[in-house]
Structure 1
């Protein structure tokens, strides 16, 4: 079990996933936590988990929020309020194709240790796009050569 603080809530948009041979499209969100443990370079370790963006009582997101805060979230809960909130997370390690992955198994009420988000952390929504994405966006955005970024 690790002490952690939520440092990001990233809207992933509509994501196609395949499970047990069935492919479906679902709106996803990623919660990211920083741990109290530091890496060799002094930055805190971080770990995230993807969730379907639904607060239905049977959803993984609703279950984790309930175990985190001790009660089910309201239907209109703003996930941005999670940033800066402490908790404890249980991490499991799974191996697939020769690579070991760390996965958030559960999110629990915070322990006695209170963590703060590292001031150098940059949220997903505030990061510069990767070069390949920026180049592709420029190509798509200037199709008409008139500076109008609307493609129709």
Structure 2
């Protein structure tokens, strides 16, 4: 698992329609959505995106599951980044220089916080702030299954390196909101604006296709040696919590 962020790395939000207000929440899912080009006021730049999902235990759906909401961030801890602002407010302390070099985002899973939800211009809920929980920052058992979408593992499925971890990542991919799937793997559906896969997935596709390409047949002495080599030879020969009350 390599879901980390740093000062040199690099909000849309919502899930169910969460009413405006302040809520106690718990992080239950982290998604590495990869690197893609984004257009901001006519300026094109590459952004590495991640998504943090929270469940709100006090708000229940008809089937008893808690409401969920998520926020998208550029994967960066530079001084002006929204991710750094929200994480420091969440834990109620600044990052150390060592943490800014590399911070393990998986520490957020199961950690409590307080979120403020407002409506955006389109009438959809969005998170306007993440803060330290009124009951203290703790790690608790989530109601939803805790989940990490590991992009590195997902890419292995297409690069020729498929394994048990890549199968899990593919299963997790199917549970993501549709537009997050498109951000990662692209979209070529009829009637939809086309979306390119993120750079990491495109690189995995390229590597996988190269691995499938047939090798050229050898000729001359090299071909004879290769042919002889192919003949059968019948001769026998859990994140633990330390003393610090804040789990991350």
TM (normalized to structure 2)? 0.49
Matched, 1:23 2:44: yes
Distance between the aligned counterparts of 1:16 and 1:48, measured in 2?
21
Structure 2 contact 56–66 (Cα < 8 Å) conserved: yes
1:88 equivalent in structure 2:
114
Number of residues of Structure 1 aligned to a counterpart in Structure 2: 138
Distance between the aligned counterparts of 2:110 and 2:66, measured in 1?
14
Larger Rg: 2
Matched, 1:117 2:139: no
1:2 equivalent in structure 2:
23
Residue ranges of structure 1 left out of the alignment (5+ in a row): none
Partner SS state of residue 133, structure 2: coil
Aligned counterparts, 1:59-138, within 5 A? 59-73=81-95, 74-75=99-100, 76-96=102-122, 100-112=123-135, 116-120=141-145, 123-125=148-150, 126=169, 128=171, 129-130=173-174
Distance between the aligned counterparts of 1:123 and 1:43, measured in 2?
19
Residue ranges of structure 2 left out of the alignment (5+ in a row): 1-21, 151-168, 175-184, 189-200, 214-248
Partner SS state of residue 67, structure 2: strand
Distance between the aligned counterparts of 1:119 and 1:29, measured in 2?
19
Distance between the aligned counterparts of 2:62 and 2:170, measured in 1?
23
Distance between the aligned counterparts of 1:123 and 1:106, measured in 2?
22
Structure 1 pair 80/19, CA: closer, same or farther in 2 (3 Å)? same
Q: As a proportion of its length, which structure holds more strand?
A: 1
Structure 1 contact 63–72 (Cα < 8 Å) conserved: no
2:67 equivalent in structure 1:
45
Please give the per-residue CA displacement for 1:113-132, whole angstroms capped at 9, x wherever unaligned. 876311446554546254xx
Structure 1 pair 40/69, CA: closer, same or farther in 2 (3 Å)? same
